[in-house]
Amino acid sequence: MSVTTQWIDIDSADGKFGAYLAIPHTGKGPGIVLIQEIFGVNEHIRSVAEQYAADGYVVIVPDLFWRSGHRIELTYDEPGWKRAVELMNATDIDKAQADIELAINALKAHPGLDGGIASIGYCFGGLLSYHTAANGLVDVAIAYYGGGIQDQLERADQIEVPLLMHFGEEDSHIPLEAVEKIAERFENNENVEIVVYPQAQHGFNCSHRDSYNQRASAEAHGNTLIFLGMEL
């Protein structure tokens, strides 16, 4: 299924930043704001956006590292990891959240938007998707191996939209103890669903990583589409 893609510019209080847009062949659909890993809006993240567009969604991916450089794209080798961590540590989370909100506003103004808006984030973006839900900016939120959620559970009561969180059973960055802490905090919230994928490591959805797990990736994508179909 063909999709249309382009980069667009979004004005913010301190400059202009880019966002990658992927449109389904029908030209319309519900919206997704896709939130990057720490590696920028790279080839992998763009391919994920295109997959969701092929699934029928209008997808926007804001470049959250624009203050450090133009359309930074990193690979998953050692130099890429080193630079990615530097960029993550240099990123002001409040400004990143403001950029995400501006991207959501751009999505709302897009003539192809037909339905609600979900946030889907990966790793660093998973945490930001969690915050986006807590900020009440989207109708549905999904977080893939969102790092640090277990340390920011004070925001749990602010989440009033359906939230799906994917975790890997063998994620060394987010141990099962952290997942259990998150699950315990949300055990009385019927809007929150947590899925743990056996033998899956951190980054299991990314085919460019050594930790890629095809079975877990396919299962998580299927679960995400079901969740979006039910809740969005």
Neighbours of 154 (CB within 10 A): 9
The residue from 44, 123, 139, 166 that is catalytic is 123
- Taking every pair of Cα atoms in the chain, the longest distance, rounded to a whole number of angstroms, is 44
**Whether 131 is catalytic:** no
Q: Give me the pLDDT at residue 1, please.
A: 61
Percent of the chain with pLDDT strictly greater than 90: 99
Q: Give me the pLDDT at residue 32, please.
A: 99
The residue from 44, 131, 166, 202 that is catalytic is 202
- Nearest CA to 75 out of 205, 207, 172, 168 is that of 207
3-state secondary structure the chain: CCCEEEEEEEEECCEEEEEEEEECCCCCEEEEEEECCCCECCHHHHHHHHHHHHCCCEEEEECCCCCCCCCCECCCCHHHHHHHHHHHHHCCHHHHHHHHHHHHHHHHHCCCEEEEEEEEEECHHHHHHHHHHHCCCCCEEEEECCCCHHHCHHHHHHCCCCEEEEEECCCCCCCHHHHHHHHHHCCCCCCEEEEEECCCCCCCCCCCCCCCCHHHHHHHHHHHHHHHHHHC
Task: Name the CATH superfamily, with its identifier, for domain 4-231.
Answer: Alpha/Beta hydrolase fold, catalytic domain (3.40.50.1820)
Report the amino acid identity of residue 12: S
Binned at pLDDT 50, 70 and 90, residue 38 comes out as: very high
Q: Give me the pLDDT at residue 29, please.
A: 98
**Whether 221 is catalytic:** no
pTM: 0.97
**Whether 202 is catalytic:** yes
Please give the average per-residue pLDDT across 176-182, as a whole number.
Answer: 98
Report the amino acid identity of residue 128: L
The residue from 63, 99, 139, 171 that is catalytic is 171
